Amino acid sequence: MPLWVWIVVILVALLLLGAVLVYNRLVALRARVNNGWSQIDVQLRRRYDLIPNLVKTVQGYASHEREVFENVTQARSRAIDANAVPDQADAENQVTRGLRQLMAVAENYPELKANENFLALQEELTGTESKIAFARQFYNDQVMRLNTLIGSFPSNVIARTFGFQTREFFDIEDPVRAPSEVDFPG
């Protein structure tokens, strides 16, 4: 065979190899984005499960704060029904605000704050909210990587050929991650 045939064969093989590598990277990233979303979902569900317990415990001490209880309960059912990523984010922000109000109410009742059950629920809530934040962080990192790969040349050719689509970021308010100046003991 003449030399130019060899050169063409090698070039085609290299191109194919590159395409396979890009395709595999896209598949891996898509899987990680999906995994990231299901992690968020798990943590959000855990927070929904906590809300009725928290409301019941606070109610035992502060029964007249009805508006606060209704707010957070309504926000919860709206969030459970939400579907698309942006709707979900909106509904979760409502839940976060409702929970913040609820915890602010609890601040006014020293007996409630000493209640062991309440303390355990509070730790669960803090833990779950930080896990939501971490899961969101992971999900958004992976979405950014996927979207960058889909958007840049030459990987965009392969992404378009095989129908890979960019995904949406999950933007919610940070419930606990905001650094505070207060030094919590213990």
Partner 1 sequence: MYEQIASNKRKTFLLIFGAILLLGAVGYVLGLFYANSGLVGLVGAVALALVMSLVSFFSGDRIVLASTRAKEVTPQEQPRLHNIVEGLSIAAGIPKPRVYLVPEQAPNAFATGRNPEHSSIAVTEGLLATMNRVELEGVIGHELSHVVDRDILVGTIVATLIGAVVLISEFFMRSWWWGGFRGRRGGDSGGGGAEAIVFAVGLVLLVLAPIIGQIVRLAVSRQREFLADAQGAMLTRYPPGLASALRKIAASSGIPMRSANNATAHLWLNQPSRVQGEGMGPLEKLFSTHPPIEERIRRLEEM
**CB of 28 within 8 A of CB of 149?**
no
Give the Cα separation of 135 and 40 in Å (integer): 5
Of the candidates 48, 127, 144, 156, which one interacts with partner 1 according to CB under 8 A?
127
Q: Does 145 bind partner 1 (CB under 8 A)?
A: no
With CB under 8 A as the contact rule, which of the stretches 28-36, 54-62, 83-91, 156-164 interacts with partner 1?
Answer: 28-36
* Residue 113, phi-psi category: left (phi > 0), alpha (psi -120 to 50), beta (remainder): alpha
Binding mask 40-69 for partner 1 (x = CB under 8 A): ---x--------------------------
Give the Cα separation of 137 and 141 in Å (integer): 6
**CB of 109 within 8 A of CB of 31?**
no
Of the candidates 93, 115, 137, 156, which one interacts with partner 1 according to CB under 8 A?
137
Q: Smallest distance from the beta carbon of 22 to partner 1, in angstroms?
A: 16
Of the candidates 85, 138, 145, 156, which one interacts with partner 1 according to CB under 8 A?
138
Task: List Cα–Cα distances, 151 to 17, 136, 145, 156, 165, in angstroms.
Answer: 20, 22, 10, 6, 10
Site for partner 1, rule CB under 8 A: 32, 35-36, 39, 43, 120, 123-124, 126-128, 130-131, 133-135, 137-138, 142, 177, 179, 183-186
